[in-house]
Chains A and B, each alone.
Chain A
Amino acid sequence: MKINVNGADIYAYTGGKTFNPEQPTVVFIHGVLNDHSVWILQTRYLAHHGWNVLAIDLPGHGRSGGKPPETVEEAADFVLALLAAMGAEQAALVGHSFGSLIALEAAARAPAQVSHLALVGTAYPMKVSPALLEASVQAPEKAIAMVNTFSHSTLCPPPSALGPGTWLYGGSRALMRRVLASNPKVNVFFTGFKACDSYAGGEQAMPAVHCPTLFLIGRHDQMTPPKSARALAGHARLAKVVEVNAGHSLMTEAPDEVLFALRDFLRN
C-alpha cells in the first residue's frame, strides 16, 4: 500500500492484508541499499497471524517517493510521522542494520508510541570505513561486492526468500543494484552509510526506550559484530538477546529462527 507521509507517497508491504485497527501493528525498517523485500518471509507470516505489517521502503528508496533521510534522527522522525499518518497510537518497530538505528532513535523519541523494539543485525557505534564510504560513491559496484561478501556467512543457506534454490549472494547483489538505481538523483548507498557512520545518539537513546528490546544477532556477522550489539544491549532497560546461526543477512540466512524470535518477542 501507499501512505502519504509529509507529502511523499511511501510504500509499505502489508502481506496482501488490509490494515485492521483492532490488531497490533509492526513496522519493519530495512538497512542500506535494501528494501521491504528483505523481510518477506517474516512479514508475510506475521501479516497472516494477527498483526498489521508495514514493511516500508524508506523515503527515496525503491517504491517510495520523497527524499532519502540523511541522518538517523531524520529517519526516526519519518517513522513517527508514518505512525501518525496511519493513525496508529502504538506500534512495534523492527529494524535491520541502518534500520535498527532508526528504530532505536524513534523509540527513544516517542517511548509511549512504541510497544516493542527489535534490533536485528545492530551495532553501536555503526562506523563505516572511509574506504567503503568513498567506494559507495566512486565505485559503487565494488562497494556492493564488499558489502555482499561481508554480509553472508554460508554457501548453503536453507530454503529462503524465493523458496528452495535461492542463491543469497546473487539475490542481495541484485537487490542492492536495483535500490541504488531506483534513485537517480541521490546516491542512497552513500547517504545511508553516512547516516550510520555519523549517528552519535545510541548510548543516550537506548536507556530512553521504555519498551522491551530484542537484540537479534547473527553469530557470524562481520558487518555488525555480535560484540558491538551486546555492548549496546548493556544500556537497555529490558533487553533480550537472541543469537542465530547467520551472518549480517540473517533474515534470509536464518529465516525461521528470525521469524520465531520475532514472533515470540512480539507475542509478549
Chain B
Amino acid sequence: MPGYADPGFDTLALHAGAQPDPATGARAVPIHLTTSFVFESSDHAAALFNLERSGHVYSRISNPTNAVLEQRISALEGGIGAITTASGQAALHLAVATLMGAGGHIVASTALYGGSQNLLHYTLRRFGIETTFVKPGDLDGWRAAIRPNTRLLFGETVGNPGLDVLDIPAVAQIAHEAGVPLLVDSTFTTPYLLKPFDHGADLVYHSATKFLSGHGTVIGGLLVDGGSFDWDRSGKFAELTQPYDGFHDMVFSEESTVGAFLLRARREGLRDFGACMSPHSAWLILQGIETLPLRMERHIANTEQVVRFLAEHPFVAKVSHPLLESHPSHALANRLLKHGAKGAGSVFSFDIKGSREQGKAFIEGLKIFSHLANVGDCRSLVIHPASTTHFRMSDEALAGAGIGPGTIRLSIGLEDAADLIDDLKRALKAAEKAGA
C-alpha cells in the first residue's frame, strides 16, 4: 500500500496485518488451526530455530492468524510489535516475567483490576517479586516508592473501580528518571480512546476479552511494545542486554536495537511459560477489532446519556465517571483522552441511596442489563459488588475499598440508549420500593 500518508485508524483496524490469502484468495483472515509448520529443508529448520530466518515453527510461539492480530494491535497502538497471550492476566505476567525475577520490585497503582492486584500482591510475592502500591494521582508517592531494585511502574489508563485516570506523561517521566519502563493496562480505553505510547508509556497490554473483541465470546490478552525504552542506557536489565545462555548466548538488545523486550518475551516467555492464544481466539478478536471505531463511538455516546440520567436521578447518591465535573479525574481526562472526559470509557460505578438488599432488588429489577462478572461486552452488563464479588466483606471493609452497600457497576453496551435508561428507571423504582 504505497502512499503519501500513513493509513488512518479506521483503515488500520480493517487492514493492518492482513491481505487476501495468497494461496486461496480468501478475503477474510483464515484461521490457521495447526500446531506446527513444515520446514522447507533441514537448513530452513535450523535457521528458524536460530532466528536467522523468521517464520512459524510451533503455534505456542507463533501462528499466522495470531500474527495478523499482533500486527493489527501494534498498528493501532503505534507500537513495534505485539504478542498474543491466553488472557490479559497472561499478558501482565509475561511482561513482568520478561523484565525481572526474584528480587525484583514493582510500583503499581492501587486502582487496579482485582485480578492484577491478586497477581502482584499475593502470587508474585510468593516468587520473590514485591510490589508497592500507590494512589494513581499521588506523583510524590510514585517517586518515593521506587527502590534500587525497582524494574517496572504499572497502572491502568482508567483505573478500577473509580475511573481514576492515570497521568501517563507524569508517571512515565518518573519511571524514566529512575531508568525503568512504564507498563499500562489499556483495556478500558482501547487505542481508539487513548494511545498510551503517545504520552510516554513504554509497554501496553490489553485484556482483549473486553472492548477489543466486544462480543463476549473469547478470552485473550495482547502485550504491545512501543520500542521507546532504551534497555542498554538504563543498565538495569541484564535479561535484555547481556548474553542469555538460554538462547545461544544471544544478546537481545544487540539483535534488535528497539525490540529486545519482544524478542525475549516471545523466545523465553511463550516458549517456557506457554500461555499462548488459540488461533481461533485470535480470529474472534480480529472480528471485533474490525468494528472497534464504530463500537467505541456508540459505547461512549450511550454512556454519556446514561451518566447524565443517573446523575439527575433522586435515588442515586453518586455517579463516578470523569464526564462529571465533580469527578477528581475530570480535567486530566479532558487533557489525555481522544474525546476528552467523554472518552473515559463505558464502565463505571454509581451508588444508590439504599442498603445491600436494595442493591440486590435493583439488579433483579433489570431486564436488559445482564448480571454477570465481565465488562466491555456489546451487551450492557451490571454487577452489585456488595452481593457478589465482595459479599464476604462488612460494610466497613467495603467502605475501605471505596465500595458502598449500594454501589453498582455498569458496563454500557450498544443497545438503544433510551431502552437502557428505561431499564435503569424501572430497576431504580424497584430498589426504592424494596426499602419501603
Determine whether B399 belongs to the interface, using a CB cutoff of 8 Å to chain A: no
Chain A residue at minimal CB-CB distance from B56: A164
Asked whether, in the complex, the Cβ of B16 is within 8 Å of the Cβ of A156, the reply is yes
A177 to B52, CA, bound (A): 26
B250 to chain A, nearest CB (A): 7
B81 to chain A, nearest CB (A): 5
Asked whether, in the complex, the Cβ of B54 is within 8 Å of the Cβ of A220, the reply is no
Asked whether, in the complex, the Cβ of B266 is within 8 Å of the Cβ of A163, the reply is yes
Asked whether, in the complex, the Cβ of A170 is within 8 Å of the Cβ of B79, the reply is yes
Determine whether A20 belongs to the interface, using a CB cutoff of 8 Å to chain B: no
Chain A binding surface SS class: mixed
Determine whether B394 belongs to the interface, using a CB cutoff of 8 Å to chain A: no
Determine whether B2 belongs to the interface, using a CB cutoff of 8 Å to chain A: yes
Interface string of A221-246 (1 = CB under 8 A from B): 01000000000000000000000000
Asked whether, in the complex, the Cβ of A41 is within 8 Å of the Cβ of B258, the reply is no
Asked whether, in the complex, the Cβ of B263 is within 8 Å of the Cβ of A162, the reply is yes
Chain A residue at minimal CB-CB distance from B15: A155
Determine whether B26 belongs to the interface, using a CB cutoff of 8 Å to chain A: no
Asked whether, in the complex, the Cβ of A160 is within 8 Å of the Cβ of B54, the reply is yes
Asked whether, in the complex, the Cβ of A170 is within 8 Å of the Cβ of B81, the reply is yes
Asked whether, in the complex, the Cβ of A48 is within 8 Å of the Cβ of B52, the reply is yes
A164 to chain B, nearest CB (A): 4
Asked whether, in the complex, the Cβ of B74 is within 8 Å of the Cβ of A161, the reply is no
Interface string of B266-279 (1 = CB under 8 A from A): 11000000000000
Chain A residue at minimal CB-CB distance from B226: A174
A266 to B298, CA, bound (A): 57
Asked whether, in the complex, the Cβ of B70 is within 8 Å of the Cβ of A165, the reply is yes
A222 to B3, CA, bound (A): 9
Contact with B75, one of A16, A163, A164, A167 (Cβ below 8 angstroms): A167
Determine whether B416 belongs to the interface, using a CB cutoff of 8 Å to chain A: no
Asked whether, in the complex, the Cβ of A170 is within 8 Å of the Cβ of B250, the reply is no
Chain B binding surface SS class: loop
Asked whether, in the complex, the Cβ of B54 is within 8 Å of the Cβ of A161, the reply is yes
Interface residues of A in 127-178 (CB under 8 A from B): 145, 148-149, 152-167, 169-171, 173-175, 177-178
Contact with A40, one of B3, B6, B228, B255 (Cβ below 8 angstroms): B255
Chain B residue at minimal CB-CB distance from A37: B257
A73 to chain B, nearest CB (A): 27
B70 to chain A, nearest CB (A): 3
Stretch from B61-69, B96-104, B139-147, B309-317 at the A interface: B61-69
Interface string of A183-205 (1 = CB under 8 A from B): 00000000000000000000000
Determine whether A62 belongs to the interface, using a CB cutoff of 8 Å to chain B: yes
A60 to chain B, nearest CB (A): 15
Chain A residues near B266 (CB, 8 Å)? Answer: 162-163, 165
B361 to chain A, nearest CB (A): 48
Chain A residue at minimal CB-CB distance from B17: A156
Determine whether B153 belongs to the interface, using a CB cutoff of 8 Å to chain A: no
Asked whether, in the complex, the Cβ of A149 is within 8 Å of the Cβ of B56, the reply is no
Asked whether, in the complex, the Cβ of B56 is within 8 Å of the Cβ of A159, the reply is yes
Determine whether B392 belongs to the interface, using a CB cutoff of 8 Å to chain A: no
B226 to chain A, nearest CB (A): 7
Asked whether, in the complex, the Cβ of B83 is within 8 Å of the Cβ of A171, the reply is no
Interface size class of A (residues with CB under 8 A): 35 or more
Interface string of A98-130 (1 = CB under 8 A from B): 000000000000000000000000000000000
A40 to B50, CA, bound (A): 12
Chain A residues near B82 (CB, 8 Å)? Answer: 165, 167
Q: A16-B250, A155-B75, A166-B80 are in contact. Are A171 and B227 (CB under 8 A)?
A: yes
Asked whether, in the complex, the Cβ of A163 is within 8 Å of the Cβ of B54, the reply is yes
Interface size class of B (residues with CB under 8 A): 35 or more
A96 to chain B, nearest CB (A): 15
Asked whether, in the complex, the Cβ of B230 is within 8 Å of the Cβ of A45, the reply is no
Chain A residues near B75 (CB, 8 Å)? Answer: 155, 167, 169-170
Q: A149-B3, A247-B2 are in contact. Are A155 and B12 (CB under 8 A)?
A: yes
Contact with A164, one of B3, B62, B263 (Cβ below 8 angstroms): B62
Q: A162-B80, A164-B54 are in contact. Are A44 and B255 (CB under 8 A)?
A: yes
Asked whether, in the complex, the Cβ of A45 is within 8 Å of the Cβ of B1, the reply is no
Determine whether B78 belongs to the interface, using a CB cutoff of 8 Å to chain A: yes
A13 to chain B, nearest CB (A): 6
Asked whether, in the complex, the Cβ of B227 is within 8 Å of the Cβ of A41, the reply is no
Asked whether, in the complex, the Cβ of A178 is within 8 Å of the Cβ of B257, the reply is yes
Asked whether, in the complex, the Cβ of A171 is within 8 Å of the Cβ of B258, the reply is yes
Interface residues of B in 1-42 (CB under 8 A from A): 1-7, 12, 15-19
Asked whether, in the complex, the Cβ of A164 is within 8 Å of the Cβ of B80, the reply is no
Chain B residues near A153 (CB, 8 Å)? Answer: 1-2
Determine whether A77 belongs to the interface, using a CB cutoff of 8 Å to chain B: no
A158 to B68, CA, bound (A): 10
Contact with A48, one of B5, B50, B249, B259 (Cβ below 8 angstroms): B50
Asked whether, in the complex, the Cβ of A156 is within 8 Å of the Cβ of B228, the reply is no
A49 to B81, CA, bound (A): 28
Chain A residue at minimal CB-CB distance from B44: A256
Chain B residues near A169 (CB, 8 Å)? Answer: 6, 75
Chain B residues near A49 (CB, 8 Å)? Answer: 52
Chain A residues near B51 (CB, 8 Å)? Answer: 41, 44, 163
Determine whether A31 belongs to the interface, using a CB cutoff of 8 Å to chain B: no
Chain B residue at minimal CB-CB distance from A14: B254
Chain B residues near A170 (CB, 8 Å)? Answer: 74-75, 78-81, 226-227
Determine whether A255 belongs to the interface, using a CB cutoff of 8 Å to chain B: yes
Chain A residues near B1 (CB, 8 Å)? Answer: 153-155
Apart from A155-B7, A156-B71, A174-B226: 20 A-B pairs, beta carbons within 8 A: A16-B248, A16-B250, A16-B251, A41-B51, A44-B52, A45-B47, A152-B2, A155-B1, A157-B71, A162-B262, A162-B263, A163-B267, A164-B54, A164-B64, A164-B67, A166-B74, A166-B81, A167-B17, A170-B78, A174-B228
- CB<8 Å pairs between A and B, sample of 15: A36-B257, A45-B52, A155-B1, A155-B7, A155-B75, A156-B18, A156-B19, A162-B262, A165-B62, A165-B84, A167-B74, A167-B80, A178-B227, A222-B2, A255-B53
Binding site for A on B (CB under 8 A): 1-7, 12, 15-19, 47, 50-56, 62-64, 66-68, 70-71, 74-75, 78-84, 226-228, 230, 248-251, 254-259, 262-263, 266-267
3 nearest A-B residue pairs (beta carbon): A165-B70, A174-B227, A167-B74
